[in-house]
Amino acid sequence: MIEIKNIGEYLKSNKIMPSVQRIKIFNYLYTEMNHPTVEKIYKELIDEIPSLSKTTVYNTLKQFVKKGIVQIINIEDNKTRYDADTSTHGHFKCMSCGMLYDFAFDNSNIKISGIENFDIHQTHLYIKGICSKCKN
C-alpha cells in the first residue's frame, strides 16, 4: 500500500476536491483497513461529522472508486465493502467470525487457461474458510 502523508493533497492529486467529509472518509479507510461497508463508515464518523449522511458516504466512495483510489470488495452476496489498498492482493473471509483479511499473492504465477489472448485489467482473488483464531 502506498504511504500517504497528506490526505488532502493526495485527493487533490487525484482530481478530487478535499472536503472535510471526503478527507475523513478516506482517512478512515486508509487508517482502519477494516474493509468497511457504507453503513460501517457512516456509524463510525457520524459523531465526528453530525451533518454526514449515508448518501454522502456512498457518493464519496463512488467517486473514490471512479478515480481508482479505492476498490470495491464483493466477497459477500449482500454487502459491498471498500478498500483503500488498491495494490494487487487477495481477501480471505472467515465464515465463522466474518472477519476479512488481506493476503499477498504473485499475480504473475497464477495459471489461467481459456483466455490467453484477453487483456486483463483487474484481478480479484477471494477465499472463504475459517481463520486461525476461530480454528483454535
Structural domains of the chain, with CATH = 7-83 (1.10.10.10), 90-135 (3.30.1490)
For position 35, what pLDDT does the model report? 96
Per-residue pLDDT of the chain (136 residues; tens, 9 = 90+): 889 999 999 999 999 999 999 999 999 999 999 999 999 999 999 999 999 999 999 999 999 999 999 999 999 888 999 999 998 899 999 999 999 999 998 777 777 889 888 888 877 889 999 999 999 8
Distance, in Å, from the CA atom of 81 to the CA atom of 74, rounded to the nearest integer, reads 7
On the CB side of 36, CA atoms within 13 Å amount to: 21
For position 1, what pLDDT does the model report? 82
